[in-house]
């Protein structure tokens, strides 16, 4: 799947812009604050009907206007997909796929795309909430059953927490909690099993990419960390979960929330056996997160999807020459389309395979598909 062209109207710092892209690599080059990330954001929005920077669509409208519009044409084998998406304040968003209106919720999985931006390093640096969000997002994108289980689990959790809160200072009949505990155990265990399987696949795929980027000098491993102590015996998961819900009941009642379950789980990433969050250098952390994202690509493909579009925001400047070279080779050799923003010239683009990329100059909200000499 690749994006042939895009048209923007009043999106961020773009007034009116149409541009055609290369099916392989597109390099968006320009000084700071010119509109490079904004263009990646527009592409991501066109693919997912969401921004990767904000949940507030209003911010995407060019200042002084009250709407934005993005149109783009995607190609997969012999098929064309025309996507039109517009947001008008205060009416909201409208999406059309091949001229037919489509609901936002039905659109999420249509065009596979993976974004890597500088803030993604927080996935390793910050607390578990971001990693859980990653698990839930990837899980849902890869397996619709994950999404349904997660939604139902969350509903049961809210009901249980509501009961705990209501009886915070009184007596709580355990029979009241029983139906919710049953739901939590059944769905929670299913979610954990799916997460563990997904992380195992992700570890395998990310390991390959990590090896490639580090020249096989470093290794990467991922470990699921559950709040449920099942002593590494997955077959005891349900029993352990049930037992720990009961054991923690008095404490949970005092606090007004459920203190065990997949809603509190986490995963850790280790480089050469050491926890990357605590011991890895900035460059190693960045490489590890990029490896996770590239691992996702393989998982999407395994799930039967089209080759995702890859958006890389400012990643090259963060890596040393060797990692830059390996990354560029990887991108040149993969089948799918990539977009790379950069504010600095990157040597490997000039020495790499010349036919398979275009360079665009981004300046003050204008994109110029100028010659390579401009670069
Ligand atoms: P850098 O190299 O620093 O990352 P960039 O080229 O990626 O720069 P963008 O993040 O794309 O820069 O932003 C370009 C400009 O867009 C910024 O100066 C910002 O002020 C402007 N901008 C952001 N949102 C809007 C908006 N809604 N309306 C008008 N301009 C906006
Ligand atoms: Mg930027």
209 and 262 part of one domain:
yes
Report the 10 Å Cβ neighbour count for 104: 14
146 and 236 part of one domain:
yes
Question: Tell me, what's the pLDDT at 329?
Answer: 86
174 and 292 part of one domain:
yes
Domain count, the chain: 2
Residue 97 included in any domain: yes
Residue 363 included in any domain: yes
Cβ(39)–Cβ(29) below 8 Å = no
- Which of 280, 304, 328 marks a domain boundary? 304
Euclidean distance between CA atoms 268 and 373, whole angstroms: 45
Tell me, what DSSP letter sits at residue 20? E
14 and 130 part of one domain:
no
164 and 38 part of one domain:
no
The string of pLDDT tens digits covering residues 247-293 is 999 999 999 999 999 999 999 999 999 999 999 999 999 999 999 99
- Which of 304, 321, 340 marks a domain boundary? 304
157: containing domain:
126-304
The string of pLDDT tens digits covering residues 202-253 is 999 999 999 999 988 899 999 999 999 999 899 999 999 999 999 999 999 9
Rg (CA), the chain: 23
pTM of the model: 0.90
DSSP 163-231: HHHHTTTS---HHHHHHHHHHHHHHHHHHHHHHHHHHHHHHHHHHHHHHHHTTTS--EEEEEE-SS--T
Residue 7 sits in a domain of what CATH number?
Answer: 3.40.50.300
Euclidean distance between CA atoms 2 and 307, whole angstroms: 8
Cβ(309)–Cβ(6) below 8 Å = no
- Ligand 1 environment, Cβ below 6 A: 12-13, 30, 32-38, 59, 61-63, 314, 343, 362
Cα-to-centroid distance, 45 and ligand 1 (Å): 16
Cα-to-centroid distance, 33 and ligand 2 (Å): 7
Residue 299 host element (H or E):
helix 282-302
Cα-to-centroid distance, 339 and ligand 2 (Å): 13
Residue 192 included in any domain: yes
84 and 208 part of one domain:
no
Tell me which residue has its CA closest to atom 12 in ligand 1.
Answer: 33
The string of pLDDT tens digits covering residues 124-167 is 999 999 999 999 988 988 888 999 999 999 999 999 999 999 99
């Amino acid at each position: 799947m690749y994006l042939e062209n895009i048209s923007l109207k009043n999106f961020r710092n773009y007034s009116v812009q149409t541009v055609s892209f290369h099916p392989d690599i597109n390099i968006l080059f320009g000084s700071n604050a010119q509109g490079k990330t904004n263009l990646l954001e527009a592409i991501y929005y066109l693919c997912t009907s969401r921004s990767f920077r904000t949940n507030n669509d209003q911010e995407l409208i060019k200042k002084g206007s009250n709407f934005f519009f993005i149109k783009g044409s995607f190609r997969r084998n012999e098929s064309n997909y025309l996507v039109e998406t517009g947001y008008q304040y205060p009416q909201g968003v409208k999406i059309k796929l091949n001229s037919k209106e489509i609901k936002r919720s039905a659109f999420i999985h249509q065009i596979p795309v993976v974004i890597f931006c500088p803030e993604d390093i927080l996935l390793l640096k910050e607390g578990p909430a971001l990693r859980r969000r990653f698990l839930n997002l990837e899980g849902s994108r890869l397996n619709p059953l994950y999404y349904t289980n997660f939604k139902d689990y969350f509903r049961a959790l809210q009901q249980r927490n509501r009961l705990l809160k209501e009886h915070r200072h009184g007596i709580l009949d355990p029979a009241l909690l029983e139906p919710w505990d049953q739901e939590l155990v059944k769905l929670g265990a299913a979610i954990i099993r799916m997460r563990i399987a997904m992380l195992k696949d992700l570890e395998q795929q990310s390991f390959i990419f990590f090896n490639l980027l580090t020249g096989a000098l470093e290794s990467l491993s991922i470990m699921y960390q559950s709040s449920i102590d099942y002593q590494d015996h997955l077959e005891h998961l349900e029993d352990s979960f049930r037992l720990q819900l009961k054991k923690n009941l008095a404490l949970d009642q005092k606090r007004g929330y459920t203190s065990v379950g997949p809603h509190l789980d986490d995963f850790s990433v280790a480089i050469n056996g050491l926890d990357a969050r605590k011991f890895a250098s900035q460059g190693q952390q960045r490489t590890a997160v990029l490896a996770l994202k590239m691992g996702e690509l393989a998982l999407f493909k395994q799930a039967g999807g089209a080759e995702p579009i890859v958006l890389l925001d400012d990643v090259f400047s963060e890596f040393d020459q060797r990692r830059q070279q390996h990354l560029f080779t990887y991108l040149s050799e993969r089948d799918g389309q990539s977009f790379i923003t950069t504010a600095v010239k990157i040597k490997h683009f000039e020495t790499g395979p010349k036919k398979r990329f275009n360079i665009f100059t981004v300046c003050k909200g204008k994109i110029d598909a100028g010659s390579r000499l401009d670069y």
